[in-house]
């Protein structure tokens, strides 16, 4: 092998890049002395573009396809080089492959809570997180603004900056939206679409595109969520007094069904009855003897006294005083009719009972002498 064959073997015949990783955004094609053989093959796959840089200046950008590197395919590079050594001479240039596919499942989240004012709960602190995707839409701008001379640029080198932009703009948009906290879950899609449009302009300054931003969750502090859960439980229970009595009855039933028969079981059941009595008194109306006008319940209406009567040699009744009056008017009972009610020592003539004297009327006095 001659020395020319040795030098010729160092020149690159095929320039291509297959991405074996999932996070590489830009890769610089490495070869000896940056020398490329005139007429070499350039293979640019789908979701890639190839950028040629000569003497620090961006020369040409190749879209997906196969190219033979000749003067016709390198108009800008041929002008920069001047082809001083003829068309068959090698040339030097740096080749960067830019990955234009979507990079998915990039996470974002608030490091600190977002303070906002809610119509229902007042001042609240919210945390939010989600995911987004990015894609290089302008390879030339991305290399100039972000990559520089980095020969192996990964998404981890820029996601922190992008995450800060997303969180900052989302916090501002959420506070200005005035959406009630309880309605945020119903607006995740709308918030994601709105943020995608708002942030795309800033990403474009880096040569990037934001195809999708998702809001996965917006949460309240644990103490507030616990309070909301309790409030929801009360709504499900409904009438709290009825529910408490139901729970108490179940507790008493469980205590009574205790098969141990020990003193501890008896104590537990006794405590259950005491608790039931205490709750019953707490939920019962106020004391019946509360004075009127003081906010308490009125006393019960007085009940009319009833009497048993001996009518036709048989015990009848009991009859209220108003019924006995009707019977007296009908002649069914007389002042001599025996009556009895609770509290009397024995049967007594109706005419001698103070409560019943009025039902027979009074006998008028004799007329005065003429």
Q: Are residues 203 and 116 in the same domain?
A: yes
Residue 109 CA to residue 113 CA, distance in Å, equals 10
Q: Are 92 and 34 in contact (CB under 8 A)?
A: yes
Domain end point (choices 99, 121, 143): 99
Tell me the H-state helices in the chain: 3-10, 75-81, 139-142, 156-177, 188-204, 222-237, 240-256, 263-283, 321-329
In a domain, 33, yes or no: yes
**208-219 and 12-15 as β-strands: parallel, antiparallel, unpaired?**
unpaired
Q: What is the DSSP letter of 346?
A: S
Task: Indicate the pLDDT class of residue 33, thresholds 50, 70 and 90.
Answer: low
Phi, psi of 20 (to 5 degrees): -95, -5
Comparing 216 with 260, the larger pLDDT belongs to 216
Whichever domain contains 167, its CATH number is 3.30.479.30
Domain end point (choices 80, 99, 118): 99
Residue 45 CA to residue 66 CA, distance in Å, equals 8
Task: Indicate the pLDDT class of residue 37, thresholds 50, 70 and 90.
Answer: confident
Question: What is the biggest distance separating any 2 CA atoms in the chain, rounded to whole angstroms?
Answer: 181
Q: Are residues 126 and 175 in the same domain?
A: yes
Q: Are residues 85 and 110 in the same domain?
A: no
Q: Which two tokens stand for residue 121?
A: 């709960």
In a domain, 198, yes or no: yes
Question: How many other C-beta atoms lie within 10 A of the C-beta of residue 202?
Answer: 15
The pLDDT of residue 286 is above 50: no
Q: Are residues 107 and 214 in the same domain?
A: yes
**Among candidates 122, 124, 153, 121, which has minimal Cα distance to 51?**
153
Residue 85 CA to residue 107 CA, distance in Å, equals 52
Comparing 165 with 276, the larger pLDDT belongs to 165
Q: What average pLDDT does this structure show over 22-37?
A: 82
Mean of the per-residue pLDDT values of the chain: 79
Task: Indicate the pLDDT class of residue 126, thresholds 50, 70 and 90.
Answer: very high
pTM of the model: 0.58
Q: Are residues 94 and 108 in the same domain?
A: no
Comparing 151 with 342, the larger pLDDT belongs to 151
pLDDT at 333 (0 to 100): 84
pLDDT at 260 (0 to 100): 60
In a domain, 71, yes or no: yes
Q: Are residues 128 and 177 in the same domain?
A: yes
User: Which residues are CB-neighbours of 346 under 8 A, at least 6 positions away?
Assistant: 340
**Among candidates 66, 56, 52, 60, which has minimal Cα distance to 16?**
66
- If one counts the domains in the chain, the total is 3
pLDDT at 77 (0 to 100): 58
Domain end point (choices 49, 74, 99): 99
Q: Are residues 45 and 151 in the same domain?
A: no
Q: What average pLDDT does this structure show over 225-233?
A: 74
Q: Are residues 110 and 94 in the same domain?
A: no
Q: Are residues 205 and 158 in the same domain?
A: yes
pLDDT at 290 (0 to 100): 47
Burial of 295 (0-12, 13-18, 19+ CB in 10 A): exposed
Per-residue pLDDT tens for 51-86? 988 777 888 899 999 988 876 666 555 555 554 544
Q: What average pLDDT does this structure show over 84-102?
A: 75
In a domain, 312, yes or no: yes
The pLDDT of residue 302 is above 70: no
Residue 311 CA to residue 303 CA, distance in Å, equals 24
Q: Are 124 and 223 in contact (CB under 8 A)?
A: no
In a domain, 232, yes or no: no
Q: Which two tokens stand for residue 220?
A: 């309240």
Q: Are residues 57 and 112 in the same domain?
A: no
Q: Which two tokens stand for residue 231?
A: 């409030």
In a domain, 119, yes or no: yes
Q: Are residues 71 and 116 in the same domain?
A: no
Q: What average pLDDT does this structure show over 211-235?
A: 82
Q: What average pLDDT does this structure show over 152-179?
A: 92
pLDDT at 236 (0 to 100): 64
Q: What average pLDDT does this structure show over 220-246?
A: 73
pLDDT at 297 (0 to 100): 64
Which residues form the domain of 319? 306-360
In a domain, 243, yes or no: no
Q: What average pLDDT does this structure show over 342-370?
A: 75
In a domain, 328, yes or no: yes
pLDDT at 108 (0 to 100): 95
**Among candidates 93, 89, 17, 15, which has minimal Cα distance to 52?**
93
Q: Are residues 119 and 210 in the same domain?
A: yes
């Amino acid at each position: 092998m001659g020395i020319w064959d040795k030098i010729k073997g160092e020149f690159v015949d095929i320039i291509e890049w297959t991405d074996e990783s999932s996070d590489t955004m830009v890769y610089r094609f490495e070869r000896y002395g940056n020398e490329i053989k005139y007429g070499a093959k350039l293979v640019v796959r789908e979701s890639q573009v190839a950028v040629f840089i000569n003497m620090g200046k961006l020369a040409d950008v190749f879209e997906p396809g196969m190219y033979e590197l000749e003067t016709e395919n390198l108009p800008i590079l041929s002008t920069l080089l001047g082809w001083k050594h003829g068309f068959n001479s090698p040339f030097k240039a740096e080749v960067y492959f830019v990955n234009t596919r979507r990079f998915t499942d990039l996470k974002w989240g608030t490091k600190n809570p977002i303070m906002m004012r809610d119509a229902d709960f007042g001042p609240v602190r919210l945390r939010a997180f989600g995911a987004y995707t990015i894609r290089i839409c302008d390879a030339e701008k991305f290399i100039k603004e972000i990559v520089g001379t980095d020969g192996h640029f990964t998404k981890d080198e820029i996601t922190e900056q992008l995450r800060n932009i997303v969180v900052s703009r989302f916090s501002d948009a959420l506070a200005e939206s005035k959406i009630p906290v309880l309605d945020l879950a119903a607006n995740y899609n709308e918030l994601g679409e709105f943020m995608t449009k708002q942030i795309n302009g800033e990403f474009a300054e880096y040569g990037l595109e934001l195809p999708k931003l998702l809001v996965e969750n917006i949460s309240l502090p644990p103490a507030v969520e616990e309070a909301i859960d309790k409030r929801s439980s009360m709504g499900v229970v409904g009438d709290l007094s009825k529910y408490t009595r139901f729970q108490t009855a179940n507790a008493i039933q469980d205590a009574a069904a205790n098969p141990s028969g020990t003193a501890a079981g008896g104590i537990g059941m006794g405590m259950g009855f005491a608790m039931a009595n205490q709750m019953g008194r707490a939920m019962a109306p106020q004391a019946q003897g509360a004075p009127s006008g003081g906010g308490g319940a009125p006393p019960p209406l007085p009940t009319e006294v009833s009497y048993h009567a001996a009518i036709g040699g048989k015990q009848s009744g009991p009859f209220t005083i108003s019924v006995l009056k009707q019977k007296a008017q009908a002649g069914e009972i007389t002042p001599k009719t025996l009556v009895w009610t609770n509290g009397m020592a024995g049967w007594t003539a109706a005419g001698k009972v103070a409560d019943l004297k009025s039902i027979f009327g009074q006998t008028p006095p004799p007329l005065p002498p003429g």
